[in-house]
């Protein structure tokens, strides 16, 4: 009875033309129809536009989780928890069955050793052989490292310098949100200019800024480069997830997620995905429940997250551009 009543009273803004997911689908259509075609680093080619913004209200557990294809939110959540550990080796992800970062270490291994090992065999070796993983599974000082252990240097009297203590930006932002909510400096930055050349990929979701409005916590993410078909569904989920965890830790209510993209593109070999997905309509309103309040932002576990009301349309597979 209660369910039926709820179903009948859902306002049209939520299920109909005003569904928040149309922002994503409209962006996809706009890029495909008007984007400028260009060659890109991966050699695949994209259609691309400069600058875009998406806004999602996170009140009442709402999440920007796409319903027009299945998004593997647990995979994205495991990746976020991995960032928060400061880890940059893919082995912990591999051991949890998360495959999204495998292509990059594999490509480096093949390039540097000249050995022709296929991706699955390489990944199996990362899982089985800790020493091998240490040597070949690292992505360099990517997100996790910069977020929780941004390197510093101390200058000595003799003119040389030595390593200082790393900076935990995530912990600092939790503190500043608690102690100085009105600050305009609640920023987590991944773009460490001096270390870009050692990263497998320079950060895409590079700048997170938090904003406290009353008792609500808003988050703005600037993403310099965005693979709209494969990356963005993950990036939206993860940014909203981080916002929710931050809000819980600072006793604030989740507010709005404002996503801003720089080079926002679709890969030319994703045409089948795009055509299929643009023929679908969003439906339903998935919600995230966090079942426990951990001691700190670094103590969340995958079991703490439960998604309700997620009945997506089928997944649409597409190759990732390496």
Ligand X SMILES: O=c1ccn([C@H]2C[C@H](O)[C@@H](COP(=O)(O)O)O2)c(=O)[nH]1
Ligand Y SMILES: Nc1nc(=O)c2c([nH]1)NC[C@@H]1CN(c3ccc(C(=O)N[C@@H](CCC(=O)O)C(=O)O)cc3)CN21
The set of catalytic residues is 204
Question: What's the min distance (Å) between Cβ of 132 and ligand Y?
Answer: 21
Of 126, 133, 145, which Cα lies nearest the Cα of 83?
145
Is 227 marked as a binding-site residue? yes
Q: Which of 200, 227, 246, 297 binds ligand X (CB under 6 A)?
A: 227
What is the per-residue burial (b if ≥16 Cβ within 10 Å, else e) of 179-199? eebeeeebebebebeebeeeb
Position closest to ligand X via CB:
231
The verdict on 119 binding ligand X (CB under 6 A) reads no
Of 129, 132, 67, which Cα lies nearest the Cα of 105?
132
Is 216 marked as a binding-site residue? no
Residues binding ligand X: number (CB under 6 A): 11
Q: 106 vs 211, which CB is nearer to ligand Y?
A: 106
Q: What CA–CA distance (Å, rounded) separates 256 from 57?
A: 5
Question: What's the min distance (Å) between Cβ of 33 and ligand X?
Answer: 19
Is 301 marked as a binding-site residue? no
Question: What's the min distance (Å) between Cβ of 58 and ligand X?
Answer: 20
> Which positions lie near ligand Y, rule CB under 6 A?
72, 75, 99-101, 201, 227, 230-231, 234, 315, 317, 320-321
- Site residues for ligand X, 185-214, by CB under 6 A, read 201-202, 204-205
- Annotated binding residues: 41, 184-185, 224-227, 235, 265-267, 321
User: Residues at the annotated binding site for dUMP?
Assistant: 41, 184-185, 224-227, 235, 265-267
Q: Which residues bind ligand X (CB under 6 A)?
A: 41, 201-202, 204-205, 225-227, 231, 235, 321
């Amino acid at each position: 009875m209660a369910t039926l009543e709820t179903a009948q009273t859902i306002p049209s803004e939520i299920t109909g033309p005003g569904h928040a997911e149309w922002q994503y689908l409209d962006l996809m259509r706009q890029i495909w129809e008007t984007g400028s075609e260009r060659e890109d680093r991966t050699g695949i080619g994209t259609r691309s536009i400069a600058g875009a913004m998406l806004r999602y209200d996170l009140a009442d557990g709402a999440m920007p989780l796409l319903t027009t294809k299945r998004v593997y939110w647990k995979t994205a959540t495991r990746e976020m928890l991995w960032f928060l550990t400061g880890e940059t080796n893919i082995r912990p992800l591999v051991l949890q069955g998360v495959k999204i970062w495998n292509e990059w270490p594999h490509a480096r291994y093949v390039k540097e050793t000249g050995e022709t090992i296929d991706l699955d065999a390489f990944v199996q070796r990362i899982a089985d052989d800790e020493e091998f993983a240490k040597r070949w599974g690292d992505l360099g000082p990517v997100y996790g490292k910069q977020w929780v252990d941004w390197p510093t240097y101390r200058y000595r009297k003799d003119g040389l310098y030595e390593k200082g203590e790393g900076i935990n930006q995530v912990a600092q932002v939790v503190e500043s949100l608690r102690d100085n909510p009105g600050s305009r400096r609640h920023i987590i930055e991944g773009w460490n200019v001096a270390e870009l050349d050692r990263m497998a990929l320079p950060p895409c979701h590079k700048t997170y800024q938090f904003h406290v409005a009353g008792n609500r916590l808003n988050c703005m993410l600037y993403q310099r480069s965005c693979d709209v078909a494969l990356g963005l569904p993950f990036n939206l989920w993860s940014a909203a997830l981080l916002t929710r965890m931050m809000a819980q830790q600072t006793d604030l209510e989740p507010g709005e997620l404002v996503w801003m993209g720089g080079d926002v593109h679709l890969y030319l070999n994703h045409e089948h995905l795009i055509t299929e997905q643009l023929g679908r309509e969003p439906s339903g309103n998935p919600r995230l429940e966090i079942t426990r309040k951990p001691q700190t932002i670094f103590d969340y576990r995958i079991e703490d997250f439960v998604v309700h009301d997620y009945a997506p349309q089928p997944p649409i597979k597409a190759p990732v551009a390496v």
